[in-house]
Amino acid sequence: MGFGFLFLFAGGLSFLFWYISTRQVPAVLPINPAYRRLLQQHSVYYQQLTPYNQKRFEKRVQQFIQLKRFVPRNMPKVTDEMKVLIAASAVQLTFGLPNVFLLHFHTIVIYPDSYYSTISKRYHKGEVNPAFGIIVLSWKDFVEGLASPDDSLNLGLHEMAHALRLENVVRNDEHNFLKPHILQQWEEESQLERAKLRSGESHFFRQYAASDDEEFFAIAVENFFERPKQFWEELPHLYQTLSLLLNQDPLLLKIE
């Protein structure tokens, strides 16, 4: 579907596995009232949370924004709306995990539309670059993903899912936060589902999920949050495993 996932390992794979982060989580400022209004207007996930969890979500969004450098490309500036909604995508994915802010990815680059990569020689809507700690997003495609919250096409969640899997293996303060035995269970179940996709069998996920393990996980995340009921009905075991892995269940958001 045009989602980029770019691995550029400086100095080889050892860079990824032995990188030591010196970034510290700063003291969290009070939530910017403008940020809260943007969440109330645009985040379907936030809207479904209990008041207590909305406060927790706001705090994490504020903290995520403080930790990241947002860089505009081919556009004059990064707006508060861009920062808040991108942060909300990351926080939505990590909300069940303790203090995971994707610290390795310190910079978020935003283009107004799809952009041409001189590395891959093709156009991208988004990509994750672990070698340089960068997440790149097309704002147009990001917003389109939010505009249809039940079509399982969400660029923000898709790219944050890629970043999450990479963050889990980068040796920093957030290393190994996904429980290994559940991750192993996920990998075993996802291999079976990918085989079905490759064989041409009708499947709940779109065909692009068969590309590799990373794309399968990212597309599963999109479906988990945007079509949870259908996902649970079609693939209950896979849904349950992903719920355990992320330590949350979108079908139970209103339950504290």
pLDDT tens digits, one per residue of 191-242: 999 999 999 888 999 999 999 999 999 999 999 999 999 999 999 999 999 9
68-84 mean pLDDT: 98
Cα gap 103→16, rounded to integer Å: 13
CB within 8 Å of 162: residues ≥ 6 apart: 5, 128, 214, 217, 218
Cα gap 167→105, rounded to integer Å: 8
Model confidence at 57: pLDDT above 50 = yes
What's residue 120's pLDDT? 77
What's residue 202's pLDDT? 87
Banded model confidence at residue 18, pLDDT cuts 50, 70, 90 = very low
Model confidence at 12: pLDDT above 90 = no
43-70 mean pLDDT: 97
CB within 8 Å of 97: residues ≥ 6 apart: 177, 178, 246, 247
Cα gap 96→246, rounded to integer Å: 6
Query: Domains (ranges, CATH) in the chain?
Result: 13-169 (1.10.472.150), 180-252 (3.40.390.10)
What's residue 131's pLDDT? 95
Model confidence at 6: pLDDT above 50 = no
143-158 mean pLDDT: 96
What's residue 7's pLDDT? 40
Cα gap 235→154, rounded to integer Å: 20
